[in-house]
Chain A
């Protein structure tokens, strides 16, 4: 017995080492190509301009240099003191919340209609909801702009009958429309699959117990599809929060979303340190959403354990 245990241990150790070696390449890849640049960038935003940051620091304008060992928050203070930046943060959060809410409502509507009513029309609507997945965002952005802008399709049609439709091009609402367009397909797929996987019998059981369709949806279907709904919500929110193409093409010059700000500070203003401060801000906002995602996954793993 003892011999067997010793043998198992001696054969177990090389296996563990082998497993670690096999897992090493992706770990190294992440550490070198993602971890290291993040550490360097955060260090640079705290004023560490030497070492591997020295090349960036050599051409950057208006940078703050660390005077103490750990660094300085001067770049952060500068950005937070800028009224324009604070407005952009607020607009970014607003667009994210609005777009996510609209996407969620539409995805739930499409998925519930498909689940509870079914039929060809519901199927066709669900299929239509996925179409934007196959249209590149840059093309969709231009299409949305020309559709809603001052000289766009909507206003032209209204003008034919002597009406003056609102011009929606280059406005915050245009970004919301574009974000909903680009985010909807994934949300529809995710939420539909979650709602479709609720077994017929549990829905029948709720109705048999006296619940109408609304109550069945609220008390049985939504709670049972809760995890995919949360995952779809977090993915949508993080996607909109960090979006660039839609706000860049369809949004106004002021206020702007943070994704566009990063590009401007980095390229147009040649202020990479301030661009990194914006990136860190987006990351902090996204972390809040990511906590929700991790919690949902944790709950999902726990419920599978039952």
Chain B
């Protein structure tokens, strides 16, 4: 049974970070005690989150953790069983999606195939009764923002996945929403395009200063675009922190494991060896240094496998009855050789909570 942690807006944001946890009154989006059951199963439990104006917060977690359900509640497609959703100081919990000041970009883009790119982007404005001339101007501006003015007359089926994704973004941005919601917007793109589009999204989001909630299960995506990341597990937020803080100072074992690579052992590393025990010790692979000769606090290990990853090498080691992974760059250790490892930095967890 994984321990659950009741989240209070993070206190772990590093000094100097662009965004600190906003006070509820100043926040552009406040989620208060959200609860949702689907099919008799709790999907989201007592979820609290405050997003500052202009901030991009990412809901990160494994499949089934409740992140998309949370986003759909914010968009208005699902009604929470309990709790409140406040956007710009206004409680929108009871409003249907068409009356909420948010705009969403869907995982599958959800473009209307029978309309041209122009008409897709213009549709929200037509519904608002904006004049024709102004619609043309605003649609053109939105498409210019995503570099797609040349595809204005194309049908969505005639343009690439990346371009469709950008049309979906333009359709959301043209509404000038108080809140932009992104539901795994990059998961249907190939790896190279994903990196390019996520940078574009981040650049546009920062340029427009638009408050954004992004859902993803991809930690790279979350770490690279977010101001803060809320890691979700079993319907609860485990931690909300800036990306670097989240990686360096995870508050729970789940966060430490989910974000980045980790060596987990039951016991502790003390001077020159490993002592088994009930405490879980977690060591990032880059925090294990390898040496040819024994030194202070080193212990002998055998190189079992070397996995090249391009910019760094992953070395699989065995020693002290444990299997450990270390990252290093430079010289490649010989498989089967005996080297000396030292744990430079470790984290300790008891019952899933960080104790040191």
- Chain A residues in contact with chain B, CB under 8 A? 199, 201-202, 204-212, 215, 219-220, 223-224, 226, 303, 306
* Given A209-B171, A210-B127, A201 and B113 contact (CB-CB distance below 8 Å): no
One digit per residue, 1 when the CB lies within 8 angstroms of any chain A CB and 0 when it does not, for chain B 106-140 equals 11111111100000000110011000000000000
Is the contact region of chain A dominated by helix, strand, or loop, or is it mixed? Answer: helix
B103 in the interface (beta carbon within 8 A): yes
| A residues in contact with B113, CB < 8 Å | 224, 303, 306
B157 in the interface (beta carbon within 8 A): yes
| 6 A-B pairs with the lowest CB-CB distances in the bound complex, closest first | A306-B157, A201-B110, A205-B110, A209-B124, A210-B127, A207-B97
Q: A220 touching B112 by the CB < 8 A rule?
A: yes
Q: A211 touching B127 by the CB < 8 A rule?
A: yes
Give chain B interface residues in 166-206, CB to chain A under 8 Å: 168, 171, 175
Q: B123 touching A208 by the CB < 8 A rule?
A: no
Interface size of B by CB at 8 A reads 29
Q: A199 touching B110 by the CB < 8 A rule?
A: yes
B77 in the interface (beta carbon within 8 A): yes
| C-alpha gap A201/B108 in the complex (Å) | 7
| C-alpha gap A223/B116 in the complex (Å) | 13
| C-alpha gap A201/B107 in the complex (Å) | 9
Q: A205 touching B106 by the CB < 8 A rule?
A: yes
Given contact pairs A202-B110, A205-B104, A208-B103, a sample of 10 additional A-B residue pairs in the complex whose CB atoms are under 8 Å apart:
A199-B108, A201-B106, A207-B77, A208-B104, A210-B98, A210-B124, A211-B98, A220-B112, A224-B112, A306-B113
| A residues in contact with B354, CB < 8 Å | none
**Most B CB atoms within 10 A — which of A209, A223, A303?**
A209
B305 in the interface (beta carbon within 8 A): no
B158 in the interface (beta carbon within 8 A): yes
Q: B112 touching A210 by the CB < 8 A rule?
A: no
A–B Cβ pairs within 8 angstroms, 11 of them: A201-B110, A205-B104, A205-B168, A206-B112, A206-B123, A207-B97, A209-B124, A209-B171, A210-B175, A211-B123, A223-B114
| B residues in contact with A220, CB < 8 Å | 112
| C-alpha gap A295/B245 in the complex (Å) | 61
| C-alpha gap A202/B104 in the complex (Å) | 11
| C-alpha gap A204/B108 in the complex (Å) | 11
Q: A215 touching B157 by the CB < 8 A rule?
A: no
| A residues in contact with B111, CB < 8 Å | 202, 205
| C-alpha gap A215/B127 in the complex (Å) | 9
User: Within the complex, what minimum Cβ distance (angstroms) separates B94 from chain A?
Assistant: 15
B155 in the interface (beta carbon within 8 A): yes
| C-alpha gap A215/B98 in the complex (Å) | 11
| C-alpha gap A226/B77 in the complex (Å) | 26
User: Within the complex, what minimum Cβ distance (angstroms) separates B215 from chain A?
Assistant: 14
B49 in the interface (beta carbon within 8 A): no
| A residues in contact with B171, CB < 8 Å | 205, 209
| B residues in contact with A201, CB < 8 Å | 106-110
Q: B106 touching A306 by the CB < 8 A rule?
A: no
Nearest opposing residue in chain A for B108, CB measure: A201
Nearest opposing residue in chain A for B104, CB measure: A208
Nearest opposing residue in chain A for B119, CB measure: A219
| B residues in contact with A207, CB < 8 Å | 76-77, 96-98
| C-alpha gap A211/B129 in the complex (Å) | 12
| B residues in contact with A205, CB < 8 Å | 104, 106, 110-112, 168, 171
**Most B CB atoms within 10 A — which of A205, A206, A215?**
A205
| A residues in contact with B158, CB < 8 Å | 306
